[in-house]
A and B are shown apart, each in its own frame.
Chain A
Amino acid sequence: MAIPVIYNFRSVKARWTSAIVAVLGIAGTVGVFVAMLSLARGFKATLVSSGSVDNAMVMRAGATSEMTGGVGVDAVKILQDAPGIARSSDGPLVTPEVVLVAPIPLISTGTDANVQIRGVSKNVLQIRNKVKIVEGRMFQPGLNEVVVGKNANKSYAGLTLGNTISLGNVRWLIVGVFDAGGSSFDSEVWADAHLLGPAYNRPDTFFQSVTVHLVSPDSLQQFKDAVTSDPRLNVDVTREIDYYSKQSTRLTTLITVLGGLIAAIMAIGAVFGALNTMYSAVAERGREIATMRALGFGGPSVVFSFVIEALLIAFVGGLIGCLVVLPLNGLTTGAMNLQTFSHLAFAFKITPELLVKGIIFALVMGFVGGLLPAVRAATQPVAQALREL
């Protein structure tokens, strides 16, 4: 015979102070767990969404990131004729790019951040077709004009429409703001590649990477085979999305390992709190339990009832933990991409799946914290418990 669940509700209410302690312990743990994971997810999502399956990146063989690569203009000319590249009315969809880092102060702290500056071709919006100009217009090729990503526009000082900024030894007019759908490009500043290199005393015949738009995602192999077998070229080809997901691994690993460790240690503490609460609940209710058992409720139903009570406490704790961190969702923060040493704005990303994980984590803690005390409650000798004061 099962003990009604209402009994558990009432007993939690009667011992609310110790229940609250257990609830808060679990809430804190779940909150930290969800927040750390959402941070790692947000960072990864930002980088991964930068890549597209339709694009391929070409870098010098052995380069580990765009910053360390180098492709000459001769190689770019050969690449433009390679099979598998999509073409539009004004030629192949290929953007040879110059990638730099420039110090621009963060609005939030006033200290310089390394902002990624990208020199791109004029048809870049056809190649990265998720990127849309949302304010102003695209830069005019051949003019000292730049467009800035929407996070760059919000995070860094002076990157507003109509303003001019100094990059290299040239001043540039900001003519547009673009939205790259929450990807890492949103933290970047884009200019004409042919002007950006010379502004930094670099030859305009030298690029860091080349991104091409493929006819279809399946054309990658055809393009790659053609390019890597060409003896005039010494390059690596990666699908753009793979390049960016690899970029995120170092920081994501760091956050996940540290966050996981911290959440695990906190979980042990929270289980201790739950155990303490449930043991005192059992101890304080010795006579009550004995009475129930004398009335005919069996051992298993007492165990079940106490586990339910612990799960109830854990569930409320998990819920509170999730609710407390929920406002973090979408909150933009910045971190350094450890691969390129450039600053990147990204948002905490709390998904329903993450919340469910948080609640499950809470229930596991509740179960572990409730089982032993429940067993003790069920195995106490009835006669002795009834005699106790």
Chain B
Amino acid sequence: MKFNRFILANLFRKKIRLILTVGSFAVALFLFTFLAVVKSAFSRGTELAGADRLVVINRAGLINTIPLSYRDKILQIKGVKAVTHNNWFGGVYQDEKNFFPQFVIDPENQRQVMTEMRVPDDEWNNFVKDRQGAIAGAGLAKRFGWKVGDRIPLKNALYGPTKTWEFVLDGIYHNDHPGGDESQFWLQWKYFDETVPSVIKSLVGWYVVKLDSPDDSVSVAAAIDKGFANSSTETKTETESAFAAGFAKQLGNIELLILTIGGVVFFTLLLVTGNTMAISVRERVGELAVLKAIGYPDLYVLFFVLSEALVIALIGGLIGLGLAVLAIPVVGAALRGLLPPLLLSVGVLSLGLAFAVFVGVASGLLPGIGAMRLRVVDALRRV
């Protein structure tokens, strides 16, 4: 480490250039982190989906209902541990802009199936007893400043004439998975089923099935669909992750878009730093030649150039990541309701840093090798 001062002195030789190059790194890393976070927000539903859960929907499409009577038949299939059913409620809270998913749930079984969504027992017991009770995700409650005990009116035009349904918030659920969904609103099946017009009574939107073991998912899914084949309502059963992935895919090919932008950024960044390193090596060809002339081995010269590039990359990278840590909560708040929560993981941060180091080394390599191969006589003659 006896060359620390030498490398530092070289770094600060052109302060503006140093700032700009570090700045480009910071910008690129910031963008990289931002894109990675957005991408993971889109695919989180798929990643966090329970491997031991199946979703059963009407073969004719998600918006079509399934008879409540299917529940018992599904429960009889071997490998099924618990079944809950949900309906889409589709109410409006104050204004259309305040969209959030509202599910009619089966209080007896929801907690056995959706094990990662936790509600304190006392709150849950109040909810089960309260016909007009509701449970909200922690994120949702925070978004509108709801507290347990609040009255929440939802206007609904889906079931019979438009009317306002009143709910009382009995509890708040938290998701065990970091970044997992905390944006849902749950209401009671009984209240729903009593209130809707008779033609849609005893019809559920979809079933969620908890399995004894994730290994059975294929066979149980096939058994469920086979059981209802050729009936008036055929079913389509998929693992929860396949279901979520199918939904996410229709949003458009976000992944390709993000990879393309990321690729453009990566390429540009490599060019910018490579160019800067090349300029700074070109400018001091004479010095490098002198170093070699007084006896420094070729590898040392390569080492000087590479470490300079690496230091720039690390400083820039750290600044970019730091900015991302500060900015992403703000951006996430601005996009609330449009995107799932933006969540910065340690994995993304370390990947970003690795990415910075890689670009640093790559950009220093060409000029470094050039400097290493330099013939002293030519270089000294050049000026």
Q: Which residues of A contact B (CB under 8 A)?
A: 17-18, 20-21, 24-25, 28, 31-32, 60-64, 67-70, 100-103, 109, 111-114, 167-169, 200-201, 203, 234, 250, 253-254, 257-258, 261-262, 265-266, 268-270, 272-273, 275-277, 279-280, 283-284, 333-336, 341, 343, 389
Contact = CB atoms under 8 A, between A and B. Distances in A.
Interface in B208-230: none
Given A17-B275, A32-B261, A269-B269, 9 more contacts: A21-B271, A60-B157, A102-B60, A111-B246, A257-B334, A266-B264, A268-B23, A275-B16, A277-B275
A265 B157 CA distance: 42
Given A67-B63, A101-B63, A334 B31 contact: no
B334 to A, nearest CB: 7
Contacts of B90: 68
Contacts of B28: 269
Interface in B250-267: 250-253, 261, 264-265, 267
Interface in B232-258: 232, 236, 245-246, 249-253
Contacts of A389: 383
Contacts of B158: 68, 70
B60 A60 contact: no
State the 6 A-B residue pairs at the shortest beta-carbon distance, nearest first. Answer: A335-B252, A62-B162, A269-B27, A63-B157, A28-B264, A21-B275
B17 interface: yes
B178 interface: no
Contacts of B38: 258
Contacts of A234: 161-162
B35 interface: yes
Contacts of B61: 100-103, 114
Contacts of B34: 261-262, 265
Interface of B: 14, 16-17, 20-21, 23-24, 27-28, 30-31, 34-35, 38, 60-64, 90, 92, 96, 155-158, 161-162, 199, 232, 236, 245-246, 249-253, 261, 264-265, 267-269, 271-272, 274-276, 278-279, 331, 334-335, 338-339, 383
Contacts of A31: 264
Contacts of B278: 17
Majority-rule SS of B interface residues:
helix
Contacts of B334: 257
A20 B278 CA distance: 14
A64 B92 contact: yes
Contacts of A32: 261, 264
26 contacts: A18-B279, A21-B271, A24-B268, A25-B271, A28-B267, A28-B268, A31-B264, A60-B162, A61-B162, A64-B96, A68-B158, A100-B64, A103-B61, A103-B236, A169-B60, A201-B232, A254-B335, A269-B269, A272-B272, A276-B17, A279-B16, A279-B17, A279-B20, A283-B14, A335-B251, A336-B252
Contact of B250 (A62, A201, A261, A336): A336
B60 A168 contact: yes
Contacts of B339: 254
Most buried by A among B38, B246, B272, B334: B272
A263 to B, nearest CB: 10
B27 A265 contact: yes
Contacts of A253: 338
A336 B157 contact: no
B19 to A, nearest CB: 9
